[in-house]
Amino acid sequence: MTSSTTKPRLLVTELWALGDLVLGTSFLRAAVEKYDVTILAKPYAEELRPRFWPDVKVVPFMAPWTAFRRKYHLLSWPWREMFRLARVLRSARYDVAASARWDPRNHLLLALSGAGQRFGFPRLGSRIFLTHPLVRPDVEAHRYEYWRALGKALGLELPPRKNMAIFPAGCAGERQILVHSGAAQPVRVWPLENYRQLIARLRQKQFHVQVACDPNQRDWWLQNGESNVATPRNVTELITLVDQARGFIGNDSGPGHLAAFAGVPTFTLFGPQLPEWFAPVHPAAQWTEGKACPYKPCSDYCRFAQPICLTGWSEPEIWARIEPFVQKLEGHG
């Protein structure tokens, strides 16, 4: 293998959520064989690095345009930090810069890096920032296919999604299921009372269930009798919980993608987004699609008081789909 000192330097940007970053794992692992790789991402990328891509350097950055609200209040943007970041990227002298997201703001960052070759999927005139504009995958393609297409352009061979490599820790507890009731946005959260009923069923079947949740859900669980609820404060604590599980049940969210790449079969309750775009990539992953809605996919901005695509699923309906999934888990181990 060529020594890292002679490899071309590659900058990769993925500034959005945990699930988006985890889906880039196979690309990053392939890229380090050919490039000296740095990823520009949210700070928790440093927590993912030791487990999933230890040879990748991380430059942390919280891009203001990735916020869910007030993202275009330009006066509140951290301009001083952004100018400093541009200087840091340019001083690193990257040979190649790449983005798997069709986002003009990412492409501007690629240009500001000064890299001589810049790969990405152009949108809204961002072709001017790219030396190698790429053709987007089919509109119905899974998010992972963008990483595959980017890899192909850079001379990297990524496996098809059905042959995805996973990286298990191998310490899952017997019959333990991790149920995570949180999600980045409320419209992706199945009602907590439904989760409580589902967990009761699992325990009746003699499964050990570890409940995990977001901080704003913790009091609800405590008040409803779940004394051992876990509330991971960071990605490292979430990885620890995942490594103790034989199966994962949760909403369309980052923890599910993390579990899948950590080798844990997942069952995902989808709402406003589409499984064909964002299903976790574990070969044993299963899911239920959100109920019919004329506005799907709606990018987390629901037109109704409740996300009927998700809240419309009753607990008995979901149990009928999850029961075969958990029965299969008894054969894993």
Q: What one-letter code names the amino acid at 143?
A: R
Alpha carbons within 13 angstroms on the beta-carbon side of residue 189 total 15
> Cα(first)–Cα(last) distance of the chain, in Å?
35
The set of residues, in sequence order, having a beta carbon less than 8 Å from that of 191 and lying 6+ positions away, is 311
Confidence of residue 300 (pLDDT cuts 50, 70, 90): confident
Largest CA distance in the chain: 60
Q: What is the pLDDT of residue 67?
A: 59
Closest CA to 101 of 69, 67, 68, 136: 136
Above 60 in pLDDT, residue 295? yes
Q: What is the pLDDT of residue 139?
A: 87
For the four alpha carbons of 41, 43, 44 and 47, in that order, the dihedral sign comes to positive
Q: Give the tens place of pLDDT for each residue, 100-126.
A: 999 999 999 999 999 999 999 999 999
Above 50 in pLDDT, residue 2? no
- Mean local confidence (pLDDT), 163-176: 63
CATH of span 176-329 = 3.40.50.2000
CB 172 within 8 A of CB 264: yes
Same fold, 4-162 and 176-329: yes
Give percent above pLDDT 90 in the chain. Answer: 76
Q: What one-letter code names the amino acid at 285?
A: A
Give percent above pLDDT 70 in the chain. Answer: 90
- Mean local confidence (pLDDT), 161-171: 66
DSSP string of 262-297, one letter each residue: TT--EEEE-SSS-HHHH----TT-EEEPPPP-TT-S
**Average pLDDT score over the chain:** 90
Q: Give the tens place of pLDDT for each residue, 214-233.
A: 999 999 999 999 999 999 99
Confidence of residue 333 (pLDDT cuts 50, 70, 90): very low
CATH of span 4-162 = 3.40.50.2000
The set of residues, in sequence order, having a beta carbon less than 8 Å from that of 182 and lying 6+ positions away, is 189, 212, 213, 214, 217, 250, 251, 253, 255
Q: What is the pLDDT of residue 8?
A: 97
Domain ranges of the chain: 4-162, 176-329
Closest CA to 58 of 42, 35, 80: 42
Among the listed ranges 81-85, 283-287, 289-293, which one has the minimum average pLDDT value? 81-85
DSSP string of 292-309, one letter each residue: P-TT-S-TT--SSSS-HH
- Mean local confidence (pLDDT), 55-75: 75
